[in-house]
Amino acid sequence: MGRSGWLVGGGLWLAALGVRLLYVQQSQTSPFFDYPLVDAKTYADAAERMAVQGHWDGGDAPFWQPPLYPYFLGVLYALFTPGYYLPRLVQAAISAFNCVLIYQIGRRLFSFRLGFAAAVAAALYGPLIFFAGEFLPPTLALFFNLLLLLTLPWAMAGRPRRLLVPGCCLGLAALTVANILLFLPVALLWVIVVGRALPWPRRLLNALPLLLGASLVITPVALRNYLIGDDWVLISSNGGINFYLGNNANYEETTRIPPGPAWRTLVSQPRTEAGLTRASDQSAYFFARAYDFISAEPSAWLLLLLRKTYLFWHGQELGRNQDLYYARNFSPLLSLLLWKATIAFPFGVVAPLALLGMGLVCCNRGQRRAEIDLLLLYIIVYALSVILFFPTARYRLPVVPPLLLFAAYAVSVLYRFGCLRAKVKLAVASFTLVVLLVAGNFRVSSMNMAGDAETLHRLGFVYQQKGLLANAIAAYEQALALDPEIREARFNIGALYARRGRYDRAIAAYQNFVVRYPSHPEARYALGNALLHAGRYAEAIVQYQKMLDEAAAVEQKAVQERLAYAHIQLDQFDEAAALYRALVGQAPDSLRFRYQLGQLAEALDRPGLARREYAAVLQRDSTHAEAGLRLARLLLAADEFTAAEVQLKRLIVAHPHLVAPRWLLATHYATQHEGTKALAQAQAILEIQPEHVQANRMVGHLRVIQGDTLAGTKNLDRFKKYYVEERQQAILEVLKDQWRQQFKGMF
């Protein structure tokens, strides 16, 4: 590339970068900017674990998703502070460089003008700009794919060892998005066919460096998967479930399963239904399910395949985990470059032009060259790799740059037909283009700028995580108005009302949920908790008891504990005690359960049981202050003074700054007429808490009795002062509570 070529490439890169930086700047107003979701969150979290926690091994199992993109983010996070702005800037630079690569491919395969036009179109192509600003791998994958398409013809023009370079590019692309692996055998075949002037053995040997280059990159990942997971997984283990999602009788439902319980249930099926634990076996399980559908209903599968092919070439951008059109709300630039109005721009224009261009190239023998055939093969194979799974905007994006080249070629040919006044050719080509435009934009839906149900559900989740509870509730309610069957949104509304203390609304939301989904134990548990907080104890008991009767898959001890609390609030102490005895039997080492059972035994006037439980607590934790104090009181009530003193002295040693055991010991000494010992404990209390009202009174009286009238009077004066202040504060608190209740009743 000469000096002019470098200048053109540099200018293209700067222009494309400027457009992408403008989009990143505008998109900061999006609620999703600093809170990536689903796959994006998975990648960002993995990168943060690498950079912050040092988990560069990628976990203790074979990779679930191709690993290169999270490692790319991890390196950025390690070199700089983890965040949401810098990775987008780096991806913007890579995406801008992709435009330069498109220019180079077009310049070499067609012409300078055609390559430049395709690169400018790529610089302004809305989905390319959008995905450059997402924590997703298409931009990086596209970079390696374009390098592959650029370097493969270059390698064929030199020595065979050059093929190591495109081989490595293909391997790196596969570690980013694995679809490109389907292109490997086609690329090998292309290398063999292009070298047809050589004898067969030499042609086969010449293709080996390409395979070797890909293997050098992929093999370490396969070995890592085996060494860590004891399982042969080539790159990642999510291929089976993705193939099943796109090839089953309920295609529409499976491809729309949102993250959450339904998704976790599906993913866990190989383990729960077939007992499979190895990642490769779980992937094979889903492949087998898809093959079962294909073999059982071949005609239905062929119709589905045709439908997916049409969806791939249709102009609309089908979102997965994100709605591209909703993102227009936060970027005026994207609003100009991505829209739907009869025509779905830009793919609804680019695809028909590209298909026409591909047809024109195939009809023009003078234009056909091996390099252009390679581009055609790439489009066909990559499109097939997407159609075999499920077509969405994110997955078809790597096909867009070659399509832009053929679209530019179609425009140039139409222009040439017009200049040459080749009316018949122009008419046929124009008619074909119109048919393709109509087919590619047939029944284009209107843009829902308010967001569809799933987008609003995710928006509510983001607001919830950010603590904007009112906004979250509003978004969830809008989502449910569009799709009443979004379980997580309905459940989260109840949780948000509960967090805001609006328990009546929380109860109504949970009751609605339980009616719709009666086999959802978490919702019944949440309903019981909301009823408990609202003081509706009898109703809470009904919900908790149902869970215990049905052996619901929720922590049983937590249910029993809350059920016991509800019984206590209704003065049903015997029922509560029975539950706590059961809890102690299930968890004999639980100090909390034993302590609470002791308290209940006291309330039931069963001091013997209470003493046993407190003693058991202290046997496991001799420093347990509350149990020790209650045991000491019970011992004093039983006139076991010596044992009580021993217990209180132990507490004082264990908690020297705790006032309660000292005060109990001081009052005990005072009732036993041991003034000196009582005075010592009361004085120790005042050293810890000088404003202690009763300790000042006791010290004052004892000092006066002992003849130290002056010092005793000072303590009594402090007693009077603190007593008056304490009484005033108590009165104010009572008044505040009365006013609070009064005003509460007014609203």
The DSSP letter of residue 257 is: P
Dist CA 297 CA 147 (whole Å): 40
* pLDDT tens by residue, 156-198: 887 888 899 999 999 999 999 999 999 999 999 999 888 766 6
* pLDDT tens by residue, 559-570: 888 888 888 888
Beta bridge partners of 343: 341
Stretch among 128-137, 383-392, 642-651 having the lowest mean pLDDT:
642-651
* pLDDT tens by residue, 686-725: 888 888 878 778 877 888 787 777 777 877 777 677 666 6
Structural domain includes residue 45: no
Q: pLDDT category, 734, cuts 50, 70, 90?
A: low
Structural domain includes residue 557: no
* pLDDT tens by residue, 316-326: 998 877 888 99
Report the pLDDT averaged over residues 372-399. 94
Dist CA 666 CA 663 (whole Å): 5
Instruction: Give DSSP secondary structure letters for 81-150.
Output: ---SSHHHHHHHHHHHHHHHHHHHHHHHHT-HHHHHHHHHHHHT-HHHHHHHTSSSSHHHHHHHHHHHHH
> What b/e string do you get for 632-656 counting C-beta neighbours within 10 Å, with b at 16 or more?
bbbbbeeeeeeebbebbebbbeebe
Dist CA 187 CA 695 (whole Å): 91
Longest CA span, the chain: 128
pLDDT at 579: 81
Structural domain includes residue 741: yes
DSSP-derived pairing of the beta strands 343-345 and 339-341:
antiparallel
Name which of 405, 484, 395, 441 is nearest 138 in CA terms. Answer: 395
pLDDT at 381: 96
Structural domain includes residue 678: yes
pLDDT at 586: 80
Structural domain includes residue 207: no
Alpha carbon of 621 to those of 410, 598, 625, 649, 660: distances in Å? 83, 15, 9, 16, 18
SS3 label, residue 344: strand
Q: How many domains does the chain have?
A: 1
Q: Could you tell me the residue range of the domain that residue 717 belongs to?
A: 660-747
Report the pLDDT averaged over residues 537-542. 88
pLDDT at 743: 46
Q: How many CB atoms lie within 10 A of CB 432?
A: 16
Structural domain includes residue 77: no
> Is residue 16 a contact partner of residue 125, using CB atoms and an 8 Å limit?
no
Helix (H) or strand (E) holding 361, with range, is helix 347-363
Q: Which two tokens stand for residue 384?
A: 């097939």
Dist CA 231 CA 278 (whole Å): 7
Q: Who has greater pLDDT, 124 or 486?
A: 124
Name which of 256, 252, 288 is nearest 269 in CA terms. Answer: 288
Percent of the residues in the chain that have a pLDDT greater than 70, as a whole number: 94
Instruction: Give DSSP secondary structure letters for 655-683.
Output: -TT-HHHHHHHHHHHHHTT-HHHHHHHHH
Name which of 478, 484, 471, 476 is nearest 515 in CA terms. Answer: 484
Structural domain includes residue 511: no
* pLDDT tens by residue, 95-132: 999 999 999 999 999 999 999 999 999 999 999 999 99
Residue 721 is part of a domain; what is its CATH number? 1.25.40.10
Alpha carbon of 337 to those of 5, 167, 229: distances in Å? 27, 35, 45
* pLDDT tens by residue, 351-372: 999 999 999 998 877 666 888 9
Instruction: Give DSSP secondary structure letters for 304-318.
Output: HHHHHHHHHHSSS--
Would you give the end-to-end CA distance of the chain in angstroms? 77
Q: Who has greater pLDDT, 99 or 622?
A: 99
- Separation of CA 402 from chain center: 33
pLDDT at 285: 93
> Is residue 359 a contact partner of residue 414, using CB atoms and an 8 Å limit?
no
* pLDDT tens by residue, 44-60: 999 999 988 888 888 88
| Total number of residues shown for the chain | 747
Dist CA 592 CA 686 (whole Å): 31
Beta bridge partners of 341: 343
Instruction: Give DSSP secondary structure letters for 172-219.
Output: HHHHH-GGGGGHHHHHHHHHHHHTTTS-HHHHHHHHHHHHHHHHHHHH
Q: Which residue has the tokens 């690993």?
A: 67
pLDDT at 204: 81
Name which of 94, 46, 52, 100 is nearest 73 in CA terms. Answer: 46
> Is residue 557 a contact partner of residue 587, using CB atoms and an 8 Å limit?
yes
Backbone angles phi, psi at 621, to 5 degrees: -145, 95
Q: pLDDT category, 3, cuts 50, 70, 90?
A: low
Alpha carbon of 225 to those of 211, 228, 232, 234, 661: distances in Å? 21, 5, 7, 8, 60
Q: Which two tokens stand for residue 121?
A: 């179109």
* pLDDT tens by residue, 247-290: 999 988 888 887 777 788 888 899 988 888 899 999 999 999 99
Q: pLDDT category, 429, cuts 50, 70, 90?
A: very high
pLDDT at 744: 45
- Decide if pLDDT at 459 tops 50: yes
pLDDT at 723: 63
Q: Which residues, 6+ apart, have CB-to-CB distance to 244 below 8 Å?
A: 254, 286, 287, 289, 290
- Decide if pLDDT at 643 tops 60: yes
Percent of the residues in the chain that have a pLDDT greater than 90, as a whole number: 44
- Decide if pLDDT at 406 tops 70: yes
pLDDT at 554: 61
Structural domain includes residue 681: yes
Report the pLDDT averaged over residues 630-651. 85
pLDDT at 1: 57
